[in-house]
Structure 1
Amino acid sequence: MRLSVAAMAALLLSGISASGAAVKKKPAPPKPAALPSTGVAQHWLKSMTPAERAAQLLMIHFYGDAPNAKSRAYKQYAAAVRDLKVGGLIVLNRVQNGIVQKADPYQMAAFLNRMQKLAKTPLIVGGDFERGASMRMTSTTQFPHQMAYGAANDLEATFQLGKATAREARAMGVQWVFAPDADVNNNPDNPVINTRSFSENPQVVAAHVKAFLEGAKSDPKNHVLTTVKHFPGHGDTVTDTHMGLGVVTASKERMEQVELVPFKAAIEAGVDGVMSAHLHVPAYEPEKLPATVSKNILTGLLREELGFKGIAVTDAMNMQGLTSQFPAGESAVRALEAGADLLLVPANAQESVRAILAAVKSGRLTQKRIDASVLKILNAKVHVGLNKKKLVDVETLSDAIDSPEDEEIAQRVAEKALTLVKNEGGLLPLRNPGASCHYILAAGRFSTQGRDLADQLRAGLRGAKVQLLDPQLPQEEFDHLAQAAASCDTVVVEAYVTANAYRGNVALAGNYPGFVEKLLAGSRPVVFVAFGNPYLLRTYPNVPAYLATYTTVAPAETAVVKALAGELEVNGKLPVTIPGLAEYGFGLKLERTR
């Protein structure tokens, strides 16, 4: 059944799925105007010097490993926690040779326990867990990217994603989840949001945002703080704000009808935090300022117009969208002047503290203004129970992560999300799987992507030829592979492309584009499987068959192998428009044949 945008949104918001099945409604979480002030928080505040209060506004990054106590890295963290007395830590991932290195939950838990013991006031720990903890961590449930939930049209699964994210986060010492992503991805050329968004439909995004938030708040034993991002909306820009200042040129009317819809829904649902974007939005800010340092946006729009009374969080302040405008200390002061409460990943923590103290001394900021934000953060720490328990129970950690039940949900979403956009000549499912040739386009030379898929293809499609490729292979080798494809019954290209910080695009890398063009010009029919970016069809509009997964995780790999073999019914619907090629809500049905 095909649905219009309005009909789809109506079904989602009424709690009915596109298949006609009722989505089980969950009790709405409490909707406090703001975290209540506590005596514990007031006591902590009174015990702090002005410098310690300024440092409480900072959340610095770490990589989740457990460096030796004699190492330079450990000493730097210890100094920030014990001496500077920062308010919190956020786990990020190292990137080496273009490959993301995720953190180990056990190493991270051990490190956090050491840091908590050093902290005068308990640290609050955050994580960008948009698709669960696996976005940053190993050994956790590999939930698909958010856009897969939009394609699957499964609000119950999104609720469970929020619930599982809270459980896994708390088990390893993370109390603040910087998720979900509330951006409406209405620009196909967006290089940094893409599949991090649920959809281009603001009502659909709003419905999934609310489901995630309700799930994250549903179990009081695993209570976390939640934060939606990137305010006032990062979906309609062609700039990665890690690399420069982005611009959203939409009018106020369009912003009201599109970008702001999910944020309003999140505020109504009681979200704890709203993260700003390093975007210039002329409709609200006449000066060329990022939203992060715009009082018109963080106070005028967020606080006064939308009525948000929670914690205003900046996006990482070491991103070039902000550092290209102001030095670290000035950025910190301007963000606080604009209305921010928590300064995430300052470019220089000590400089930020010094600048805040100087601003208070000069009268640019008041101590009362600083204390108001500090008290919000301290109350948040009490709210998640850090005054009662701040250490991680490493022995029981394994019982809370990567559960079989969560794996089943992840697999269900991956299978329901699969969207068949083209299938000329009925190429899928493969008529002769054993005679097919598969070219897996991994993201980079040192990437582990595609290795498990290669094994599954060899096992599930016995006889199929499988090649795991590297974008930097010599052109001669790609030419040879393209010529050899003439002996295949069907050529299948499995391409891994997702939005990554500092990359600047979501296109195929290296020598891949020319290779795909040569395959399409050959004599054998080509099936293109997009692991991640669904808009790749725009680059190869003449490909006969196109299957979108919206994600790169293992459950999607399993789903694709089953679909190619005819062992899975495919019925996902595009949650975005592929301009000129496929409309929002489109998807061909592929019957199971085996």
Structure 2
Amino acid sequence: MRIQRRILQGLLLVCLATTFIAPEQIAIASTPASEQAQILLEEMTPEEKVGQLFLVTFSGTDVSTNSPIYQLIANYHIGGIIISRANGNILVEENAAENTWTLISELQKIEYYNSYRKQPEALITTPPTYIPLLIGLSQEGDNSSHTQILNGVSPIPSQMAIGATWDTGLAQQVGTTAGKELSILGVNLLLGPSLDVLEVPQPSEPNDLEVRTFGGDPYWVGKMGQAYIKGIHEGSQNRILTIGKYFPGLGSADRLPEEEIATVRKSLEQLQQIELAPFFAVTGDAPSPEATIDGLLTSHIRYQGLQGNIRSTTRPISLDPQAFNLLMELTPFGTWHEQGGLMISDSLGSQALRQFYDPTGNSFNARQVALDAFFAGNDILYLGNFADSNLPDTFTTIKNTLDFFAQKYEEDLTFAERVDESVLRILAKKLSLYNDFKLETVLAPQDGLAALEEKSQIAADVARQGATLISPSRSELNNNLPNPPTTNQRIIIITDSFEDEATGKPALEVNTLQESILRLYGPRSGLLITRANLTSYTYKDIIQLLDFPAESEAIGASLSQANWLIVAALNTTGDRPNSRAFHRLLSERQDLLQDVNVVVFAFNAPYYFGATDISKIDAYYGLYSNLPSFVDVAARLLFKEIPNPSGASPVSIPGIGYDLISATSPDPEQTFSIYLNEAPPTEEDIQGETHPDATPSFPVYNVGDVIDIQTSPILDHNGHPVPDGTPVQFVVVSAVSGTNYLPLVETKNGQAQTSFLVEQAENLQVYATSLPAESEILQISVANPGSVDGEVQIAPTASPTSTPTLTPTNTPEPQRVITTLPPLKPTGPSWPNWHVWGLSFLITTAFALIAYQTGAIFGQVRWGIRWGFSAFIGGMLTYSYLALELPGSELLTSSPSLLWNVILAVLVGSSIGWGIAILVRFLVTRSSKIDKSGD
């Protein structure tokens, strides 16, 4: 009896445990990082908590105890710092990398040692509450003001140069290089990459993005962004947080966000199609954690008609709670944010925000701006150039703001809860970088600097693969310029060389291209060219020639004697009148260009020349970056060492009629393949023999089979897979049922697939169109079940019909839609789920009550209780067996009648449980009678 009772008790415990197996595990299990973050949060003071919300800037490299940045770290517990060349934190010098490592290390040490100082003396022997700083910068690539470290690290190409390769592998390699080297320096926050989509280039507008974007196609910007982010994470070994810019996108803005807040006329639906698509791709729709962005930088941009009302204009997204929440309610963003994604405001001290709050520029209430940005939904507030109009300096403004936030934390419970929510998210991210907050873990080791001596060659790979022949076509180029320059020909090089305000140096030196040509093709490299025949001028020299020809006769004479005119072009902007030097030369002094081979290399964006300008150019190439490796590739293109550059522009170029939407549409010159995912045997396989001269057979299906078909990768005009979402129409043609158009499907990773059910025996021809491209034709044979030797039985028709043509029209009128294949798994309720579980529980409970009531009716109350429990255990064990998908369970759960199958199985299980209990009672009663008869 005791053994039987223990068995029943054990079964009851198992049943109770398995009864509450959650059919849908909605709650996310607490991770060690989140648990540790919660512990840290509970130990922090209000001042320490609000300090974590702020990213600050400072001037110079002084971090002594009297410096403002020391005071902000030691006494105000700021959470992070952004360093830059503009603020003098990073100097343009040979040992810039080592100096940056030193600065970052010192900043982290200030926080660490002051965390001890903040402890009571009685606890000085215990580990302090040390929370590392986030120390970040932007490193967008190129020799530009958006790249902070120019010396001591591997050169990084611009994002547009990467986009021109159309190679996500190269994008990842660039990210890996940048992530590895920045991590060596101690950087743990990267403001990048930019995920803006340059849908329509605006070279004449002040908001011109230039080469600070991967391109103009949302799909490809997202793919490149995913790869770049994955590279940063892998290269840094997940020691750098990536922050995507500029959410929700600046591609359609007509103002620079630093100078004036732009207003964009777009609805939320339009934003989702273009601007938001790349941000979706790196947040909730990211393919892996490594490709997921850690945070988003919210831009100061307004939208008119965001919610459909064209008369309604939002405040800047970074300050508008309603507009901000509208975006964050979109599933990819909401899911990502709930899982720990950070929202960071753009610089709250920008000139644009100052004008927004007070167009006169006389008043700027800094702490109110910070409060507005925080209430809008930002987790971290970036206080760049943050100075209140009524306070003496930035340092005082930041202190005042921190004090204000700390006071409000103690007075306003709702505000305190909102702060705790953001700080918890920030702490979890910091823990994801280091696992534990030990100084030796946080500091980048000094011996790692030796790895920076070996520079990566990834920029050279990007330069070679991204180089683009913009105009003319390859065949026309061979006619226009059949041969490269020769030894006796004179070459004039004009370079857009101007001094960068941030570096004090030109992005392109006047003789950069000349020296590259001499190094590769000069006296020491085959003597294809001599120094005497090379002359270089700047754009400023050309302006001098055009405006004061009498004072520039030497330049005019040099140009008139040239055989080749090579132009190294950057951007064209109204802020630099000299940037239009070559445009003016083409229109004002065509006499100097007669019988001269004119070759232009665009080391910035490729859309600054109009159709008339390009018509006067013999060869126009896009390089997209001004790094030395790109200059070398330009020289190799000039001398035809690279005869067929493989890159393609990732943005539209109006001057040559290059439209990116058309370029990324299916190429009509291709005939893509179409095939069966799981083809059945062919007729020859069935017959077991082949004949050399026989016509190739095609697969044989039976009536009632489902045919699953798929295309090969569909390529665009540049030879790359078409973007996701490209529509594809599958068509099935037969002599019996005519032409049938399957439901339209869209591509995924360049391919499309669909399925259909065959309803009668016939020969089928299947093809697909993705206008204007078409596939090859697939032949399929359908036989009646039971036909011998694969013989195809064609259903008779009332009258003969001619075989319809296989060439689809542009606007086909469907004759009959073939039944579409249902999913491989039934489309019933998902399994397991609360609905089925609830019904199973109620039915099992009811059956158990019936079993109990039966025992009670016969005067066996105790056995009635046992019968009830046994029935309940049997039913719930059966449900648990099915829910855990143990062997054999799929026979019931994979059926369309899932609900009824489970209920029936639970009833059977309850019956078996009750039956076992009845059997036990019978055995116990019998044993008792035997014992009594023995007595």
TM-score by length of 1: 0.83
3-state SS, counterpart of residue 609 of structure 2 = helix
Give the corresponding residue for 1:17. Answer: none
Contact 2:165 2:465 in 1 (8 A): yes
Secondary structure in structure 2 of the residue aligned to 1:396: helix
Structure 2 Cα separation of the partners of residues 40 and 319 of structure 1: 36
Question: Aligned pair in 2 of structure 1 residues 351, 240: CA closer, same or farther (>3 Å)?
Answer: farther
Q: Which residue identity is paired with 2:148?
A: R
1:124-165, Cα deviation, whole Å (9 max, x unpaired): 111223349992212211121111122111110111122222
After the TM superposition, which residues 221-260 of structure 1 pair with which residues of structure 2 at under 5 Å, given as runs?
Answer: 221-260=237-276
Between the aligned partners of 2:578 and 2:29, the Cα distance in structure 1 is 45
What code does the residue aligned with 2:447 have? E
| 1:359-374 superposed matches below 5 A | 359-360=408-409, 363=412, 366-374=415-423
Matches within 5 A, 1:145-224: 145-189=158-202, 191-218=207-234, 221-224=237-240
- Residue 353 of structure 2 is matched in structure 1 by 322
Equivalent-residue separation in structure 2 for 1:551 and 1:581 (angstroms): 21
- 2:437 aligned residue: 387
1:80 CA displacement: 1.9
Residue matched to 1:397? 449
State yes or no: 1:338 paired with 2:404: no
Match of 1:26 in 2: none
Structure 1 CA distance, aligned partners of 2:418 and 2:377? Answer: 9
| Partner SS, residue 626 of structure 2 | coil
Please give the per-residue CA displacement for 1:234-259, whole angstroms capped at 9, x wherever unaligned.
11122111111022222323211111
2:136 alignment partner in structure 1: 126
1:230–1:398 CA distance, 2 compared to 1 (3 A): same
Alpha-carbon deviations, 1:107-139, whole Å to 9, x = none?
111111111111133111112233499922122
Deviations 1:494-535 (A, max 9, x none): 12338xxxx886986375653454455522342221111211
Distance 1:84 1:75, change over 3 A: same
Structure with higher RCO (Cα < 8 A, 6+ apart): 1
Structure 2 residue matching 1:312: 3-state secondary structure: strand
Q: Distance in 1 between matches of 2:605 and 2:271?
A: 25
The answer for the alignment partner of 1:455 in structure 2 is 515
1:529 counterpart letter in structure 2? F
TM-aligned CA distance change 1:580 to 1:91, over 3 Å? same
Match 1:469 to one of 524, 529, 538: 538
Task: Tell me: CA distance 1:105–1:322, structure 2 relative to 1, closer, same or farther (3 Å).
Answer: same
Question: Is the CA contact (8 Å cut-off) linking 1:471 and 1:510 kept in structure 2?
Answer: no
1:79-109 Cα offsets, whole Å, 9 max, x none, are 222222211111222289xx98899121111
CA distance in 1, matches of 2:33, 2:415: 20
Q: How does 1:409-424 map to 2 (within 5 A)?
A: 409-423=458-472
2:654 paired residue number: 579
Tell me what 1:514 maps to.
Answer: 584
What is the aligned partner in structure 1 of residue 46 from structure 2? 50
Quickly say closer, same or farther: Cα 1:321–1:365, change in 2 above 3 A: farther
What per-residue deviation string (whole Å, max 9, x for no partner) do you get for residues 195-223 of structure 1? 11111111111111111122223357353
**Which of these residues, 478, 481, 484, is aligned with residue 427 of structure 1?**
481
CA distance in 2, matches of 1:304, 1:435: 61
Give the RMSD, CA atoms, in angstroms.
3.3
Distance 1:35 1:495 in 2: 52
With over 3 angstroms needed to count, the CA separation of the structure-2 counterparts of 1:581 and 1:511, relative to structure 1, is closer
Amino acid at match of 1:509: S
Is the contact made by 2:266 and 2:306 (CA closer than 8 Å) also made in structure 1? no
Using the TM superposition, give the Cα deviation of residue 183 of structure 1 relative to its aligned residue in structure 2, in angstroms. Answer: 0.7
Q: What is the TM-score of this pair, normalised by structure 2?
A: 0.54
1:443 aligns with 2:517: no
Answer whether contact 2:495 2:569 (CA < 8 A) is retained. Answer: yes
Q: Which runs of 5+ in 2 are unaligned?
A: 1-27, 116-130, 287-291, 358-363, 388-397, 522-528, 664-716, 720-935
Structure label with greater radius of gyration: 2
How many residues in Structure 1 have an aligned counterpart in Structure 2? 545
Cα 1:323–1:358 change in 2 (3 A) is farther
Q: For residues 302-313 of structure 1, what are the structure 2 equivalents within 5 Å? A: 302-305=328-331, 306-307=333-334, 308-309=336-337, 310-313=341-344
Q: Percent identity?
A: 22
SS in structure 1 at match of 2:326: helix
Per-residue CA deviation, residues 304-360 of structure 1 (Å, 9 max, x unaligned), is: 543231100112222223232233222211111111001123414224324434654
Contact 1:245–1:290 (8 Å) recurs in 2: yes
Identify which range, 535-544 or 275-284, moves more after superposition: 535-544
- The aligned residue for residue 571 of structure 2 is 497
Q: What is the DSSP-based 3-state SS (H/G/I as helix, E as strand, rest coil) of the residue aligned with 1:532?
A: coil
Q: Is 1:110 matched up with 2:72? A: no
Distance 2:356 2:246 in 1: 19
Q: Which residue, out of 51, 56, 62, partners 1:60?
A: 56
